[in-house]
Amino acid sequence: MAFIEDYRLDEIKNEVEEVAYKELETQLAKIPDEDICKCIDCVQDMACFALNQIKPRYTVSLLGSLYTRVETESLIEDISKVVASSIQKISQNPLHSKS
């Protein structure tokens, strides 16, 4: 798509994704592997479930990025709660059959 390339729209990023992924990684690391399924399907599901509940923050410039980072810091606690409930929900109801 020339339009996307002409205007470098692929440089636009949702900064919340990074925070949510980091939080998901941290929280999953604290849960023993035998307690929940950590397969690709389940972890992708947890990420989608969490991200769909968090307001996105799209930025493109460094300035916007800094602004968002400050804003995001006050929301890390919210993101952490959303991620925790997503892990719980998906691990209790995986799309695949429980093994």
Q: Does 31 bind Zn ion (CB under 5 A)?
A: no
Residue 64 or residue 94: which is nearer to Zn ion going by CB?
94
Report in angstroms how near the CB of residue 11 gets to Zn ion at its nearest.
34
Q: Please tell me the distance from the alpha carbon of residue 55 to that of residue 89, in angstroms, as a whole number.
A: 20
In terms of CB distance, is 28 or 37 closer to Zn ion?
Answer: 37
- Of 10, 13, 7, 9, which Cα lies nearest the Cα of 58? 13
Q: In whole angstroms, how close is the CB of 50 to Zn ion at the nearest point?
A: 16
Please state the separation of Cα 16 from the chain's center in Å.
7
Residue closer to Zn ion by CB (options 41, 73) is 41
For residue 98, the minimal CB distance to Zn ion (Å) is 9
71-74 long-range contacts, Cβ below 8 Å, gap at least 24? 72/15, 72/16, 72/19
Q: What is the binding site for Zn ion (CB under 5 A)?
A: 37, 39, 42, 94
